[in-house]
Amino acid sequence: MTFQAYIDNIKAKTGLSPAAFKKRAEAKGFVKNGKLNPEVKATQITNWLKQEFGLGHGHAMAIYATFKGRDS
């Protein structure tokens, strides 16, 4: 599966774009000033995405990758 396919599947499942996830991550303190908070571990973010949005590990990691700057 391509990276774009992961993003497309996430949007179909949740209705949220990577930008919308980033806004929610900012509200939780995972992202600050558009960048990942260095005090937050990847596992904290992926666990949040799994629990709150029902994403699998690969899909959660794809969203995490967008937080790190990967383009969708």
Coil, strand or helix: which one is 13? helix
Q: 3-state DSSP call for residue 40?
A: coil
pLDDT of residue 72: 59
For 41, other C-beta atoms within 10 Å of its C-beta total: 11
The pLDDT assigned to 39 comes to 96
Tell me which amino acid residue 36 is. L
At residue 60, the pLDDT reads 97
pTM of the model: 0.92
pLDDT value for 53: 97
pLDDT < 70 positions in the chain: 72
Q: What pLDDT is stored for residue 57 in this prediction?
A: 97
